[in-house]
Amino acid sequence: MHRRSFLKKLTGYSLGVMAGGLVLPNGIKAELVKPFAELISENRLNDEIRNRIVELKKDNRNLHVGELHCHSYYSDGAYSVRDLLLRSSLLGLDFLVITEHLTPGTYRLESCLDSIKAQWNIFNRWNYGEMGPPAIYPAFEISTKEGHLIAVFPEDYFKPERLREIRRYFSRFDHYSVPVELTAGLIREMGAVSIVTHPDIKRSYPFGISSGFVKEHLAGLVDGIEDMSAGHGYQKDFSAETGLATIGSSDDHLNIILGTVVTSFDGTKHDNIIEAIRMRDTRAVRLTNSLDILFSPTKLFFNI
């Protein structure tokens, strides 16, 4: 598509999304946004991300690049886990962490577990020719009393007996919010890592844990913090202030900005992203800023 025509359509869709976000139910919004997502991803964006990843790996073929924060329709995303896995593979991402919401009274643990099981089934039945699947990890985004916290579990937790363990320890989160210190301690006890998402971003409910609270109360308890977020349009240096692993991610709900901001680690030093986060040896990377125009309409549309 010609660049001028593409930008014209992009602007039109952006305005439509902003208007629709004010009045439509989430299910209708998700259907409305799909042509928008496909227009953007199929015109320029996918190629731009793929080419940028190739450039990054020229000097280190063992560099691993991936997405650590996105959502499917098992919580408040607009696309299936299959769609997210396929797009991640197409982009050349080495790993994908889908983080459904676990929110008392809204998004239940069983939906998180259903998403994890669906990911594992798709991964094991992958049949897309030479295009291999990205590595995946069981994960979800927990609404604690102070704000959101991602838990990323080792691959061993895809096993049914380990999923039962998650159910045993986290089912209470369906009913009430737990203090973040207790939540982070439980995550660590289970051999998983925790990531503070969108710090300092305020909502009318606990959303982004304050960086001051992280420094004062969570040292030695949490493992990583989002320094870059495509979905929230910021780039900070929280990791240097807190001594945590630096994380870059999209918080994508629409399968548009997935992979635009990523986390990388050196595969010659670490076997997987969990180990790299635990060792504070990660890097947040912005692969493209061409979708900055979408930050406001995306926030309005799904309140990410």
Task: Considering only the C-alpha atoms of the chain, give the largest distance between any 2 of them, rounded to a whole number of Å.
Answer: 54
pLDDT at 15: 43
Residue 47 lies in a domain: no
From start to end of the chain, where are the E strands? 63-67, 95-96, 100-102, 135-136, 139-143, 148-152, 193-196, 224-229, 234-235, 245-249, 261-266, 283-286
Instruction: Please list the pLDDT of the chain residue by residue as tens digits (304 residues).
Output: 444 444 444 444 454 444 444 445 555 656 666 666 666 656 688 999 999 999 999 989 999 999 999 999 999 998 999 999 999 999 999 999 999 999 999 999 999 999 999 999 999 999 998 899 999 999 999 999 999 999 999 999 999 999 999 999 999 999 999 999 999 999 999 999 999 999 999 998 999 999 999 999 998 999 999 999 999 999 999 999 999 999 999 999 989 899 999 999 999 999 999 999 999 999 999 999 877 665 555 555 555 5
Residue 82: CATH number of its domain: 3.20.20.140
In a domain, 7, yes or no: no
pLDDT given at position 20: 47
How long a stretch of residues is the chain?
Answer: 304
Is there a domain that residue 38 lies in? Answer: no
State the residue range of the domain holding 215.
61-290
**Is residue 268 included in any domain, yes or no?**
yes
Q: Is residue 103 part of a domain?
A: yes
Number of domain units in the chain = 1
139 within domain boundaries? yes
Three-class DSSP category at 275: helix
Domain membership of residue 51 (yes or no) is: no
Model-level pTM greater than 0.85? yes
| Domain contains 70 | yes
The amino acid at residue 123 is: F
The pLDDT, as a whole number, for residue 289 is 84
| pLDDT of res. 34 | 62
Could you tell me which of 25, 67, 40 has the C-alpha nearest to residue 256? 40
